[in-house]
Structure 1
């Protein structure tokens, strides 16, 4: 399987734009990798999804025979 990332040095760090390092790819340094991780932890980055209404979540947990027919 082909490597999805370009060779180190050919890509720019997504945090600061400097050339990447092979040891910290896809970032240029451990600092930029930690900045990126902090953005995930703080909620700056999010994975898009559809939000279920609370009653929909409960219905998904019930066995089919116990669900309210709609």
Structure 2
């Protein structure tokens, strides 16, 4: 008898915002967060520029 993806237990991961353990399941509408609240807190942090992806600044004055 072979196992399929539906019979495997969901992985447990910490919510990136509050660190509460949650199951990584496709039916979680807020994945990877535990709730809509944590998702919105994270979105607000990005909007307020408390999170950023490191990159080199671009020089828009440079001619091609």
Q: TM-score range by the shorter chain?
A: 0.5 to 0.7
Quote the offset at 1:20 in angstroms.
2.7
**Long gaps (5+) in structure 2:** 1-9
Q: Which has the higher strand share?
A: 2
Q: Which has the higher helix share?
A: 1
**Long gaps (5+) in structure 1:** 1-6, 65-70
Superposition RMSD in Å = 1.8
Could you tell me the TM-score, scaled by structure 2's length? Answer: 0.66
Of structures 1 and 2, the one scoring higher in RCO (CA 8 A, sep 6+) is 2
Aligned residues: 51
For the pair shown, the structure with the greater C-alpha radius of gyration is 1
Quote the offset at 1:51 in angstroms.
1.7
